[in-house]
Amino acid sequence: METVERRKAREVRIGSVRIGGNHPIAVQSMTTTRTEDVDATLKEIHELEEAGVEMIRVAVPFEKSARALVEIKAQMRVPLIADIHFDSRMALLAMEAGVDKIRLNPGNISQRKRVERVVALAKERGIPIRIGVNSGSVEKEFLERFGRPSPEAMVESALKHVRILEDLDFYDIVVSLKSTDTLAALRAYRLAAQRMPYPLHLGITEAGKPGYGELKSAAGLGGLLLDGIGDTIRVSLSGPSVHEVKAGFDILQATGRRVLEPEVVACPTCGRIEIDLFPLVEKIEAFAKGLGKRPIRISVLGCPVNGPGEAREADIGLAGGRGVGYIYRRGVQVRKVEEDEMLEAVKEEIVKFLEEGAEVG
């Protein structure tokens, strides 16, 4: 398989999770409840944790939302992020409540003194700050300079906020440049990757409902991830937040950035098909699922045309022939079996491969 050199961003610690450097790209989500409704917020948080989320962000628009954070933080496992706009008091309250990261654009806070206070507390507690620029809220000065919320305008806006923090000797920074326009987001992140050393939080904002929203996110973020860009990801869906978690991991798996589960690659079949493929794929998938979080790649192909070549790319591959199946392990044919023995033979080879502790790829 092809590999890509990952952009090496500065390492930032968010509670128990580290991003940047060589750390895994973390999957995060955001609650949809009113944060001050502690029971509802915790219910959603626990669902997200159950789904495997690695960080959770909550909106902190009011003092009552900030005051709820102590109780929320005490009853959750993953790092908590407070999303704050404009109001430095909310940032101070959230940090005092023990959040692990805040999302705040310092350029939106009216007085320098207030920014200094926020940064001093963040520094003292080792809390990073995410600067989140959105194409819909690029400041007037950049809209005037660039004529529209272009990728350049978004990156210049982010750099303005970054410089405020850097001037205060603060470098635990994460940056996001979200847009609902996939190409704008792609270009903005690529530009930011060249112009700043900080980890990038990837997202396509307001991607839509589950289904199309996941595809749109994958379309926008796939190019970046395949370029080695991105340190944490959030898929924004108009639906239950728990879908965002699976979507995030699926996008990382599909781009090969973070392969956590068995992947079964199967051909779509065509007129050259030699074996009864779909039921076989289903059974192999069910078997692979039962293996848990094992990053093994299995390919199942219907005929000898592309079969052997593709099967060679997998950890374990099966290529169908007339009434027979050829089984490959990392490109080497290891068995030839009758069609009715294929399923068992593939399962055996998978188990053997995992037991022998081969480094899966």
Compose the 209-248 pattern: x for residues touching ligand SF4 by CB under 6 A, - for all others. ----------------------------------------
Identify residues 300-329 at the interface with ligand SF4 (CB under 6 A): 301-303, 305-307
Among the listed residues 15, 21, 27, the one whose alpha carbon sits nearest the alpha carbon of residue 232: 27
The alpha helices in 227-361, defined as continuous H runs, are 242-254, 277-289, 307-313, 342-355
Question: In the complex with ligand SF4, which residue's Cβ is closer, 180 or 269?
Answer: 269
Question: In the complex with ligand SF4, which residue's Cβ is closer, 256 or 321?
Answer: 321
Contact 350, 314 (CB under 8 A): no
- Helices 38-50 and 242-254: angle between axes, nearest 10 degrees: 30
Total chain residues near ligand SF4 (CB under 6 A): 12
Identify residues 245-304 at the interface with ligand SF4 (CB under 6 A): 267-270, 272-273, 301-303
**Torsion on CA atoms 345, 351, 355, 361, rounded to nearest 10:** 100
Min CB(292)–ligand SF4 separation in Å? 29
Residue type, 198: Y
Min CB(267)–ligand SF4 separation in Å? 3
Min CB(312)–ligand SF4 separation in Å? 13
Residue type, 137: S
Query: 154 — alpha (psi -120 to 50), left (phi > 0) or beta?
Result: alpha
Question: In the complex with ligand SF4, which residue's Cβ is closer, 262 or 302?
Answer: 302
Min CB(269)–ligand SF4 separation in Å? 5
- Cα–Cα distance, 150 to 225 (Å, whole number): 21
- Cα–Cα distance, 278 to 343 (Å, whole number): 12
Compose the 328-347 pattern: x for residues touching ligand SF4 by CB under 6 A, - for all others. --------------------
Question: In the complex with ligand SF4, which residue's Cβ is closer, 256 or 308?
Answer: 308
Min CB(322)–ligand SF4 separation in Å? 12
Question: 3-class SS at 305?
Answer: coil
Residue type, 18: R
Question: In the complex with ligand SF4, which residue's Cβ is closer, 92 or 277?
Answer: 277
Min CB(222)–ligand SF4 separation in Å? 23
Min CB(361)–ligand SF4 separation in Å? 22
Distances (CA, A) of 312 to 248, 262, 265, 316: 28, 16, 12, 8
Question: In the complex with ligand SF4, which residue's Cβ is closer, 245 or 267?
Answer: 267
What would the two tokens of residue 92 be?
Answer: 């101070």
What would the two tokens of residue 267 be?
Answer: 């051909």
Question: In the complex with ligand SF4, which residue's Cβ is closer, 242 or 267?
Answer: 267
Min CB(188)–ligand SF4 separation in Å? 38
Question: In the complex with ligand SF4, which residue's Cβ is closer, 155 or 303?
Answer: 303
For residues 216-248, one letter each, b for 16 or more C-beta atoms within 10 angstroms of the residue's C-beta and e for the rest, the string is bbbebbbbbbebebbbbbbbbbeeebbbbbbbb
Min CB(258)–ligand SF4 separation in Å? 28
Question: In the complex with ligand SF4, which residue's Cβ is closer, 61 or 308?
Answer: 308
User: Which parts of this chain interact with ligand SF4 (CB under 6 A)?
Assistant: 267-270, 272-273, 301-303, 305-307
